[in-house]
Chains A and B, each alone.
Chain A
Amino acid sequence: DTAVSQTPKYLVTQMGNDKSIKCEQNLGHDTMYWYKQDSKKFLKIMFSYNNKELIINETVPNRFSPKSPDKAHLNLHINSLELGDSAVYFCASSPLRVGTEAFFGQGTRLTVV
């Protein structure tokens, strides 16, 4: 009965590859997010969707493309992976609007070699 679930939990891949991370929430929330946590634990928002509509698109390379097929799912596709993309990526959701309490998934640790 996991509330926000991401797959995979770990992802090791070579530079230049394309990979996807999937996220699903069963909380009935309207808003979903992708956050990136770097090696210093700093958390920064990347994208936010509200009811399948893109609300926030921070300064993120266009190699990163989110996709929300419905309000319970938000996937992240990354093209041409680079070493600097190595990080932990967290999916989160919140009821109603952006900026309300966020509930986080367990994270996907991406390592680019």
Chain B
Amino acid sequence: ELKVEQNPLFLSMQEGKNYTIYCNYSTTSDRLYWYRQDPGKSLESLFVLLSNGAVKQEGRLMASLDTTARLSTLHITAAVHDLSATYFCAVSQDLEKLTFGTGTRLTIIP
């Protein structure tokens, strides 16, 4: 069974700092997604990563995928308060169901 782990589970960081969230998965995968969830809100799709070495960037967020290591990272550059949210990675194998990671609750402190 596909397992997806994220770390850290909780992250408090100061504005202006850089940090990385890690997503490890247990078996081969054909695609990986990153989602954002604000408190009490829905999930918003951020990135879709389809192949080894894929890198996507949007503003202060950059996601990458290493299928050999079964690892994706979400890098935050010069964090700002608006980025406070819970971030989920999700993986699908053989275009079966999406399996979500445990989530990383990110709090940006002024």
How far does the alpha carbon of A4 sit from the alpha carbon of B86 in the complex, in Å?
Answer: 21
Contact of A98 among B41, B44, B45, B95 (CB under 8 A): B95
| Residues of B in contact with A, size category | 20 to 34
Interface size on A, residues (CB 8 A): 21
**A99 touching B41 in the complex, CB below 8 Å, given contacts A41-B105, A42-B103, A43-B88:** no
Contact of A41 among B48, B86, B92, B95 (CB under 8 A): B86
Chain B minimum-CB-distance residue to A103: B45
Q: Is B25 an interface residue, CB under 8 A from the partner? A: no
Q: Which of A54-113 contact B (CB under 8 A)?
A: 56, 58, 90, 92, 97-107
Contact of B102 among A42, A48, A56, A106 (CB under 8 A): A42
State whether B42 touches A99 (Cβ < 8 A).
Answer: no
Q: List 30 A-B contacts (CB under 8 A).
A: A41-B86, A41-B103, A41-B105, A43-B88, A43-B100, A45-B97, A45-B98, A45-B99, A56-B97, A90-B43, A92-B43, A97-B95, A98-B96, A98-B97, A99-B92, A99-B93, A99-B94, A100-B31, A100-B92, A101-B33, A101-B48, A102-B33, A102-B45, A102-B98, A104-B43, A104-B44, A105-B42, A106-B42, A107-B41, A107-B42
Contact residues of B with A, CB < 8 Å?
30-31, 33, 37, 41-45, 48, 86, 88, 90, 92-100, 102-103, 105
